[in-house]
A and B are shown apart, each in its own frame.
Chain A
């Protein structure tokens, strides 16, 4: 069964460093998402992406964040200068159409020290 994959599973970085979280969505899907979950808090929407552009972003998704689909298979989330409060589990999701089920990856745990 096709699945969304994410790498790495765990990333540790120092405050102020740039990180790139990688996702490979399901191959025929067209809609892509990033969510995050800070420990003990809700899963929060960050951004949705369709047709090579951002469709919607939350108030969390400020200028420090960017997304890209560089090669037709990967979907990346970049945090330009990490802060302690960026420590969270980051989930990538994709769907074939809207409205439709979103398929989630296993997540990347980001720890900022």
Chain B
């Protein structure tokens, strides 16, 4: 079945460090891939998405490339800020399974803490 495996946290970085959070997936069809972010006390917010192989999603300095050959969608940012401290979730939606309403499959989430 469909699933997402995400790098376990927590991740602690200094400001301006490079960030990678690994995400790999298993899907029976042709999934869309997402990164969601959850700031303290708030709901999950879509950070970026990619809907087909080789697409690159980007937002707020974060990027992730949909790699079908390695079934991966790793999140990267070149220079993190204190304000990036949050929990990051990788997710997929597999439209071609017949679940046409976009059920999301999530990873466990990775807690990122950035120190000044």
The interface stretch among A11-19, A65-73, A80-88, A101-109 is A101-109
Contact with A along B79-95 (1 / 0, CB 8 A): 00000000001010101
Q: Least Cβ distance of A53 to chain B in Å? A: 11
Q: Are B109 and A43 in contact (CB under 8 A)?
A: yes
Chain B residues touching A, range: 20 to 34
Contact partner, B102, options A31, A40, A41, A107, Cβ 8 Å: A31
Contact partner, A102, options B42, B104, B109, Cβ 8 Å: B104
Contact with A along B18-37 (1 / 0, CB 8 A): 00000000000000100010
Interface residue count for A (Cβ, 8 Å)? 29
Q: Beyond the given A35-B104, A106-B41, A107-B43, could you list 16 further A-B residue pairs with CB under 8 A, ordered by the A residue number?
A: A33-B101, A33-B103, A33-B104, A42-B4, A42-B106, A42-B108, A45-B103, A48-B101, A48-B102, A48-B103, A98-B100, A99-B32, A99-B95, A102-B46, A104-B36, A104-B44
